[in-house]
Chains A and B, each alone.
Chain A
Amino acid sequence: MEYKVEAHRIMSISLGKIYNSRIQRGGIKLHKNLLVSLVLRSARQVYLSDYYSGACLNAQSEREGNEWDIMDSEREKFPPSATECDRAESPEEPQQSKQPEASDKEREYRENDDEVKSDQADCTSTLQQEQNPNPSLDSVGNVSPPETINEPKESPSDSSVAERQSTPVANGESHQAPKTHVCSNRKRSAEESESGDSPQKRTKVASSNSKEDEEGEEMDTSNVSNLITIFGSSFSGLLSKDSAKPEAEAEDSGQICCDQMLKNLNPWSTAIVAF
């Protein structure tokens, strides 16, 4: 368990570094951000592997199970997005798929996990990404972010998931669309639930600690629906903070002046303003 705490801490520190590198003078430093993303990836792998071995068997896992059930039921409501996600991402990072024990919950989580790991790769990749040849990005990127920021909390989760369904998932890079606007969600819910970063949010849902117990009672429907949105879009929301930001950073450090990159920048600047 202490590995998990350590990994979690390192993850939040890494995310903080990536975030701070945006405002550093002289532009984003590619080398440092690459190293930070490697640390983030290692910590995350440890964190997730630890979740596998330990957390599910805990005494308090029952409550987690409830939350996971909620999440699972939501995922059943929107199966196309999840499976498309799988299909899109598994060819990209096949070597990262884990082999968990075959339990229902864990199997569902494994699909997420593959996506998580792919997202991790995406996270690293978008960190230095220059090219984003995803044609669907234009439509989604433009439309959704302003909505998510201005509208009340419930509707963004609906609109973002709906958008996600309608977007043809051509390749794994389409995740950037949901990432972009889900991150706004996550930021808002982050503010409200007083947890600053994604690993803590995951901890809140998945792991067992006293803080979670206290906050569990305070969690209302709106918080849960945000979490559902995050999990429903295959964990991209958890990494959205560091994946969308590095994506924007990468644009800064890369030399791409293509329209898609510029459009990606816009939602982020509004997100930063809102934050």
Chain B
Amino acid sequence: MHLLEEDQGRCVKADIISTVEFNSTGELLATGDKGGRVVVFQREQESKNQPHRRGEYNVYSTFQSHEPEFDYLKSLEIEEKINKIRWLPQQNAAYFLLSTNDKTVKLWKISERDKRPEGYNLKDEDGRIRDPTTITALRVPVLRPMDLMVEATPRRIFSNAHTYHINSISVNSDYETYMSTDDLRINLWNLEITNRSFNIVDIKPANMEELTEVITAAEFHPNQCNTFVYSSSKGSIRLCDMRTSALCDNHSKLFEEPEDPSNRSFFSEIISSISDVKFSHSGRYLMTRDYLTVKVWDVNMESKPLETYQVHDYLRSKLCSLYENDCIFDKFECVWNGTDSVLMTGSYNNFFRMFDRNTKRDVTLEASRENSKPRAILKPRKVCVGGKRRKDEISVDSLDFSKKILHTAWHPHENIIAVAATNNLYIFQDKVN
């Protein structure tokens, strides 16, 4: 796959991007950062004058979604970092997205204003109230064009439903409900109602001493509004059907692969913890990401995954150091392409990996300014494991573990990807022939 690079670097000081998401048409791309801000990019309309600038993404709207809060009861600070953004399908001229931090989900409306009313009777153009006694004639206000203004307003705030940290949100295909997931519980909300939510999964044991696993991610089925999956820290995925009971603690399907005893180490449990789970667009497959691999599961087969891809197996011998520097706890996400034929996930040293399910080929690419110029074709990278290092290869020991790509997104229809590398956002497109 040939790629063009367009560098849409975010000029934000030390603000690490914490989530990236395309909307359902791919026209908009939203990013959330650790400072609680959301930046939305919009794709340019393609113009015949500049065919090589095939729809670049420009900043469309920026707003502060969440602020740091303090829970006085528990003496805890609540981080404003945006954990997830999910777009709602577009139903009118405005755009809607859900953004969440550790405790609160907010529904934001992003709308354009390019006209403004002029000629009010009761107030001046400046907004000052006129003295009614000075009004001698009435006029009808008219709408006059103005510079485009994009404004974001919070329409709903869903709070006080989670004791633990929210790690995922997922919009249902019925477009009326969505679910929010924390470490131990999943709650179902109606998008219109903020003062009530329904708990649909609760894995908190009666005695917390018996706690052995937590929920790490959850997602609704793309087509079936009654089905959702959630992944656990023990490496298992549960598929639940909301029609069976109000509380879906008993799963309908359990996807689990028995552990390979030869790979047992102190850190086996950590690396088997699933950091992300995604349905394919068709709904037939599930993709899961744990620390070292990406797995594709067939929804109809629970005993083992259909495919397993090694993302960076050369790290298996370095788990102890990665534990020390906390890198082993990094939560990598994974994404499908529009046709469910290619998988993408991130790694260290600003590398990200793509796996083609059909050809079984994989490629490692790097998102960095130094190594690629705008509009250059990305060069595949290779990590060498011991032995002789060839010219372009990087040895495992010289990988930069502070440069990690945790969040990536793939355009729903085209081959355009967004890759978040710490506080920079890279957008890559397919080469135009």
Contacts and interface: CB of A to CB of B under 8 A. Distances in A.
Interface in A4-52: 6-7, 10, 13, 17, 25-27, 29-32, 34-35, 38-39, 42-43, 46
B77 A125 contact: no
A interface majority secondary structure: helix
Contacts of A253: 163-164
Contacts of A27: 71, 74, 76-78, 102, 165
Interface string A123-144: 0111011110000000000000
Given A26-B77, A26-B102, A31 B209 contact: no
Contacts of B184: 30
Contacts of A128: 208-209, 211
B269 A35 contact: yes
B138 interface: no
A246 B326 CA distance: 18
A122 B214 CA distance: 18
B358 to A, nearest CB: 35
Contacts of B211: 34, 124-125, 128
Interface residues of B, number: 36
Contacts of A250: 208
A56 interface: no
B209 A121 contact: yes
A128 B184 CA distance: 11
A252 interface: yes
A199 to B, nearest CB: 14
B interface majority secondary structure: loop
A126 B209 contact: yes
Nearest to B76: A27
B323 A39 contact: yes
A255 interface: yes
Contacts of B175: none
Contact of A13 (B208, B210, B323): B323
A131 B207 contact: yes
Interface residues of A, number: 34
B102 A35 contact: no
B75 to A, nearest CB: 8
B208 A31 contact: no
A168 interface: no
A122 B209 contact: yes
Contact of B163 (A13, A129, A255): A255
Given A10-B266, A26-B78, A252-B74, A34 B208 contact: no
A196 B194 CA distance: 49
A13 B324 contact: yes
Given A30-B164, A31-B216, A35-B269, A252 B323 contact: no
Interface in B177-211: 183-184, 207-211
Contacts of A10: 266, 320, 323
A216 interface: no
B238 to A, nearest CB: 17
A162 interface: no
Interface in A214-232: none
A248 to B, nearest CB: 11
Contact of A254 (B78, B167, B208, B269): B208
Contact of B208 (A32, A43, A129): A129
Nearest to A30: B183
Interface in B316-375: 320, 323-324, 326, 329
Interface of A: 6-7, 10, 13, 17, 25-27, 29-32, 34-35, 38-39, 42-43, 46, 121-122, 124-126, 128-131, 250, 252-255, 257
Interface of B: 71, 73-79, 81, 102, 163-165, 167, 183-184, 207-214, 216, 233, 266-267, 269-270, 273, 320, 323-324, 326, 329
13 contacts: A10-B266, A13-B324, A26-B102, A27-B71, A27-B78, A27-B165, A29-B165, A31-B214, A34-B213, A35-B329, A38-B270, A39-B270, A252-B75
- A-B pairs with the 3 shortest C-beta distances? A125-B209, A26-B79, A27-B76
